[in-house]
Structure 1
Amino acid sequence: MSMDQIERFRLSDQYQTLKSSVHRHLIAQIEDRKLDIYTWPADKVERFVAEQVKRYVLEQRLPVNQRESEALIADSRNELLGFGPIQSLVDDDTVNDIVVNGPHNVFIERGGKLYSAPVRFNDDNHVIRVIQRILAPLGRRVDESTPMVDARLPDGSRVNAIIPPIALDGPCLSIRKFKKVPLTAEDLLKSGSITQPELDYLKRKVETRTNLIVVGGTGSGKTTFLNLLSSWIPSGERIVTVEDAAELRLRHNHVVRLETRPPNLEGQRAISARDLVRNALRMRPDRIIVGEVRSDEVLDMLQAMNTGHDGSMTTLHANNVRDAMHRIELLAGFAGYTGGEKTLRGQIAAAIQLVVHVSRLSSGQRRVMSISELRGLEGSELVMHNVFRYEPESGIVVPQEAA
């Protein structure tokens, strides 16, 4: 039986029914024999599942061949201890994102493009059971009273789940996987995401404590690029990071990592990014790195950049550099800024010296689109200068004279 036939077999209703029956059999055996398999070593669990599945197939006289039996053993183990049908996708290092749109529609992102995954769930309850298993070790839950949840797996992967009645077509799960090994400058050069002159320029700017922001859309690689930039911070500097979900991996001896906290079940005791940025200012940092500015912490980040914490960095959702500047002004308004427009732009110009725009192209490739210097105000307008600009039509990076 070929791999395609196995995948079709796994997607069939017949197989889903069989897998559910085997899972119930395994649970019954564990409960009847009072087994604590969660404390067993992996090889012992593997043997137990294989023995029980083979015994069940023989006792029920099921028409299952060797390849189908191996698939059933692997899936039964994943149902018992892992994340069910998506465990193989979680284990696949080439998969960047896993998206579950109800029980029968599972997609993955690989190489910047979405593909349908050859797995499925039995029904809505099956999806919710896997979601609960993902969230349980994290101390989080999702139910009708709290139908949406954001969480982070121990390896740093981000998880979002939303269930009915909010999700009309069944429970949805999104996992943005965290790379085990951060991308290096060599990786980005090899993939064509950046050129050597751009890398050299950015490295020099990081080492000379230039305040910068990385802007781009969802999935454009902002955090990945921020990780790269932070790797060039000289050793010996004290760095404080602030994130909603701790994704940055700084290979420095002197790093303090802070993470926001959502409200509890009573809607209280939340710790926001603004709270953490304010606290970071009191922790004697040389640099502050905010994973993403998305709310009222923008004013405190600008203050940090303006008050001796040179070389601080952050990311921002925006389609281009100009939109990023406008979004900072908008967020400042949401944060309660009541001063004049020119005064705010003066603060922005004094705080931010460099803007790196990254984007995901139609091919799925992530690319540095421009590196721009913010050169102050001309009248009441911010003056931007492209040091490097990527032209998608020609695929050429156009360098320009830097100040």
Structure 2
Amino acid sequence: PGDWDSFMEMAVAHLQNIIVFGGPGSGKTTYGKTLIDLFPAHRRMVTIQEMLEDPLPFHPNHVHLFYGHVVGPKALVASSLRMKPDHLFLTELTGDEVWHFIEILNTGTKGTVTTAHANDSEGGYARVCGLVKQSEVGKGLDYAYIERLVRTSFDVVVYMEKQDILEVHYEPEYKLALLNGQRQRAK
């Protein structure tokens, strides 16, 4: 174990894209809200939520977008860039909106926080890749390409169980290797 609080404060300060994995009730959404509160108050925040889980009391310049039966998360993610967010927070990755979210992460939006259900961090990567495959674009993409894209889009990966952080992955050298076409971690 390490000093996760200090590490995560530095990750937020350096505008890292963060994903928190865990099962239902693991604390991932609560932890995500804690991370969001670390961003400077003057920054413009856009949240995409099914219901108001994070009112952003410390960030007056915010927009909350809600999805449901009429408008899905995919449409909200796709339109969120028009709102000029400094930071985008998608409460949970659940379906084919993931492709648009990954695109946003790779077009200059830094300092995002999201969550997804998974049994561990490696399973989390596989789950996010599977969600990308559900999209119209993802159906035509090679799985290896999707996996590289997912692994290079998130800077910090957290896995939680029962409100406890069990795994934190921050591997900038591996990310660079993947971006340069290598598939293996340096030894």
TM-score by length of 1: 0.42
CA separation in 1, counterparts of 2:26 and 2:34? 14
Task: Answer yes or no: is 1:358 the counterpart of 2:165.
Answer: no
What is the Cα deviation at residue 245 of structure 1?
1.6
Task: Answer yes or no: is 1:371 the counterpart of 2:178.
Answer: no
Which whole-Å deviations, capped at 9, do the CAs of 1:22-70 have from their partners, x for residues lacking one? Answer: xxxxxxxxxxxxxxxxxxxxxxxxxxxxxxxxxxxxxxxxxxxxxxxxx
Question: Is the contact made by 2:46 and 2:80 (CA closer than 8 Å) also made in structure 1?
Answer: yes
SS of equivalent residue, structure 1 residue 294: coil
**Which position in structure 2 is the counterpart of 1:223?**
29
Instruction: Provide structure 1 residue ranges, at least 5 long, that are not aligned to the other structure.
Output: 1-193, 263-269, 361-365, 385-403
Question: Is the contact made by 1:345 and 1:380 (CA closer than 8 Å) also made in structure 2?
Answer: no
What is the Cα deviation at residue 235 of structure 1?
2.2
Instruction: Provide structure 2 residue ranges, at least 5 long, that are not aligned to the other structure.
Output: none
What is the Cα deviation at residue 321 of structure 1?
0.4
**Which position in structure 2 is the counterpart of 1:301?**
101
SS of equivalent residue, structure 2 residue 60: coil
Question: Is the contact made by 1:321 and 1:357 (CA closer than 8 Å) also made in structure 2?
Answer: yes
1 or 2 for the larger relative contact order (CA 8 Å, sep ≥6)?
Answer: 2
CA separation in 2, counterparts of 1:330 and 1:261? 22
116, 122, 125: which one pairs with 1:325? 125
Task: Answer yes or no: is 1:214 the counterpart of 2:20.
Answer: yes
Letter in 1 for 2:5: L
Task: Answer yes or no: is 1:238 the counterpart of 2:44.
Answer: yes
**Which position in structure 1 is the counterpart of 2:65?**
258
CA separation in 2, counterparts of 1:327 and 1:350? 15
Question: Is the contact made by 1:274 and 1:296 (CA closer than 8 Å) also made in structure 2?
Answer: yes
SS of equivalent residue, structure 1 residue 285: coil
SS of equivalent residue, structure 2 residue 116: strand
CA separation in 1, counterparts of 2:84 and 2:39? 16
Letter in 1 for 2:6: D
Question: Is the contact made by 2:125 and 2:151 (CA closer than 8 Å) also made in structure 1?
Answer: no
Letter in 2 for 1:254: N
Equivalent residue runs for 1:83-98 within 5 Å: none
What is the Cα deviation at residue 349 of structure 1?
2.8
TM-score by length of 2: 0.88
Letter in 2 for 1:316: A
Letter in 2 for 1:328: V
SS of equivalent residue, structure 1 residue 253: coil
**Which position in structure 2 is the counterpart of 1:277?**
77
SS of equivalent residue, structure 1 residue 282: helix
Which whole-Å deviations, capped at 9, do the CAs of 1:163-204 have from their partners, x for residues lacking one? Answer: xxxxxxxxxxxxxxxxxxxxxxxxxxxxxxx96x11001011
Which whole-Å deviations, capped at 9, do the CAs of 1:200-254 have from their partners, x for residues lacking one? Answer: 0101101110001010000001110001000111122111000112201322121
Deviating 4+ runs (over 3 angstroms): 378-381
**Which position in structure 2 is the counterpart of 1:9?**
none
Question: Is the contact made by 1:241 and 1:291 (CA closer than 8 Å) also made in structure 2?
Answer: yes
CA separation in 2, counterparts of 1:216 and 1:249? 22
CA separation in 2, counterparts of 1:300 and 1:340? 17
Equivalent residue runs for 1:2-401 within 5 Å: 197-250=3-56, 251-262=58-69, 270-336=70-136, 337=138, 338-360=140-162, 366-374=163-171, 375-376=174-175, 377=178, 379-380=182-183
What is the Cα deviation at residue 261 of structure 1?
2.5
Which structure has the larger Rg?
A: 1
What is the Cα deviation at residue 342 of structure 1?
2.7
Letter in 2 for 1:352: F
Question: Is the contact made by 1:258 and 1:276 (CA closer than 8 Å) also made in structure 2?
Answer: yes
What is the Cα deviation at residue 357 of structure 1?
0.7
Which whole-Å deviations, capped at 9, do the CAs of 1:323-364 have from their partners, x for residues lacking one? Answer: 00000111111113112223222321331111011101xxxx
CA separation in 1, counterparts of 2:151 and 2:124? 13
CA separation in 2, counterparts of 1:278 and 1:357? 27
CA separation in 2, counterparts of 1:332 and 1:248? 25
